[in-house]
Structure 1
Amino acid sequence: MHEPPLKTLVVDDEPLATERLQLLLARIGGVDLVGTASDGESACRMAEALSPDLLLLDIAMPGMDGIDVARELGRSPQRPAVIFVTAFDQFAVSAFDVDAVDYLVKPVDPKRLERALERARAHIEWRSGVGAEEAAPPGQYLEEFWASDLSGLVRIRAIDIDRVSAERDYMRLHVGARSWLIHHSMAALEEGLDPATFVRLHRSAIVRRDFISGFQRNASGRWIARLADGAEQPVGRLYADCVREIAGR
């Protein structure tokens, strides 16, 4: 038995971006494109009239932006699922604050879009109670980041990040011997990263759990985390309970 197609509304103020999404959706299948909108106000009116299952929603638009649209539609009992599609990475944390199913950075990779649509379908089914007793809600955690370097933009998978360190208003993502700066807050990253995979050890540090090789106490009795690359990360007093939780004690 085939699943019903996702009734989808595409919202983007760039005609070429809208056209590209339409072409990608046609190739992937399983989607019923019910309309397109070029601004936030039109998107809200069309969503009310058409009751789509899903919005593929740009963020940076004149007037009412995509975050505002998602927040407005989120008040509706029949709120659609939202996948943000944007040229910028700095809105990712705000996107998940409004319960976005996924966050895609342009130019959209077809495989990545296909995976996002699968997540949207799972989210809609869970929200409507299909299998809700057996299944946990679909993941709402950040899967990737986009950071600038000399060659342009680099995609960094969350699962590849060894640790995150704070540098004033920026966070440094450490992946092996390389690192990149992104403009997010530590608190937002702590909320956005999967707690089953990452743990906050200090007000200025988040570490991937399997990157921690052990703990030891220093001369003053404070815990120090030993990391897989040989580095050491002090554990803040407010986060000392994490040592017992990780060690199972």
Structure 2
Amino acid sequence: MTDPLNILIVDDEPLAIDRLRLLLEPMAGVAISGEAGDGETALDLAGRLSPDLVLLDIAMPGMDGIDVARALAESGADTAIVFVTAFDNFAVAAFDVAAVDYLMKPVQGDRLERALARARLHLAGERRAAVPRPPSAHVEEFWVPDLTGLVRISAADIERVTAERDYMRLHVGRRSWLIHRTIAKLEQELDPKRFIRVHRSVILRRDTIAGLSRDEAGHWCARLTDGAEQRIGRSYVEEIKRFAGR
């Protein structure tokens, strides 16, 4: 029998703590080790109780949830963080402090169970690692808005990025999500060994490019593995040729 997942609940709203407790109590393999109503108390309890997981509100007076997560990370605590919030505009900050998941209030039981499963996988991986892996120089995943809150997308799964004014659309198969970034910023964040910019408003994953063609007017076009075609901007033609070994 595996040890239970010890959980610390942190929220400045008592009703929110009560709701999480009611959702957690019937679940197998979990134990609530403590509850806190502010960031300072949360850090004190985390230091004394060493929880496996902190269910952490973000918008709290004084020390907010992002500050708490950052302090826990700096302390070297072997603790997973799942943010629980009523706001969807903290996703980038949550990614910066390596949160395992991001739940929107009111939390649903099945969604919470999925977050706990992710926390267990995260902790198992961290505890198996003999040597900490150096951080990647490039973004490896994104938190993106979804109908149920926010979802995590691996950068490796993104096939195409298209610009829509101040937003970027990330295309994964038949689905797509919008994030608030400039294309220049996103180009810097993505691994250039995996992605290539082909137009002022388009970035492609390199392995989705199946071929190149040139029309009678001299315009270059990339033929993609899904059968689509993407016009190549004039200022990106030389880079595309280097990519093709020409």
Q: Normalized against structure 1, the TM-score is what?
A: 0.70
Matched residue, 1:17: 16
Asked if the contact 1:216–1:226 (Cα under 8 Å) also holds between the matched residues in 2, the reply is no
Residues 155, 73 of structure 1: alpha-carbon distance in 2 compared, 3 angstrom cutoff: closer
Cα offsets for 1:97-137 (capped at 9, x unmatched): 1121122222323222212212211222222227x69xxxx
RMSD: 4.2
**What is residue 119 of structure 2 aligned with on the other side?**
120
* Structure 1 residues 163 and 120, CA gap change in structure 2 (3 angstroms): same
The amino acid that maps onto 1:172 is R
Q: 1:230 to 1:96 in 2, by over 3 A?
A: same
- 1:31 matched to which residue of 2? 30
1:224 aligns to 2:216 (yes or no): no
| Structure 1 partner of 2:54 | 55
Compared with structure 1, are the counterparts of its residues 220 and 56 closer, same or farther at alpha carbon in structure 2 (3 Å cutoff)?
Answer: farther
Following superposition, the deviation at residue 45 of structure 1 comes to 1.3
User: What residue number does 2:134 align with?
Assistant: none
Task: Return closer, same or farther for 1:243/1:80 CA change in 2, 3 Å cut-off.
Answer: same
Contact 2:23 2:109 (8 Å CA) reproduced: yes
User: How many Å apart are 1:154 and its aligned residue?
Assistant: 7.0
**234-243 or 114-123: which moved more?**
234-243
Q: Is the 8 A contact 1:212 1:228 kept in 2?
A: no
Q: Quick one: distance in 2 between partners of 1:63 and 1:238?
A: 53
Secondary structure in 1 matching 2:75: coil
Deviation at 1:43, TM superposition (A): 1.0
How far apart, CA to CA, are the structure 1 residues paired with 2:25 and 2:192?
Answer: 36
How far apart, CA to CA, are the structure 2 residues paired with 1:52 and 1:189? Answer: 35
Q: 1:69-103 CA deviation, whole Å, 9 max, x = no partner?
A: 11101122334111111222222222121121122
Which has the higher mean CA deviation after the structures are superposed, 155-164 or 47-56? Answer: 155-164
Unaligned runs of 5+ in 2: 132-139
Q: Once the 2 structures are TM-superposed, how far is the Cα of residue 48 of structure 1 from its aligned partner?
A: 1.2
Are the structure 2 counterparts of residues 238 and 105 from structure 1 closer, same or farther at C-alpha, using a change threshold of 3 Å? farther
Please name the residue that 1:183 is paired with.
180
The residue identity in structure 2 corresponding to 1:164 is V
Name the SS of the counterpart of 1:75 in structure 2: helix
Contact 1:8 1:53 in 2 (8 A): yes
Query: For residue 141 of structure 2, what is the aligned residue in structure 1?
Result: 141
How many percent identity over aligned positions? 51
* Partner AA of 1:63 in structure 2: G
Q: Which runs of 5+ in 1 are unaligned?
A: 134-139
Could you tell me how far apart the structure 2 residues matched to 1:103 and 1:33 are?
19
Letter in 1 for 2:104: V
Give the match for residue 43 of structure 1.
42
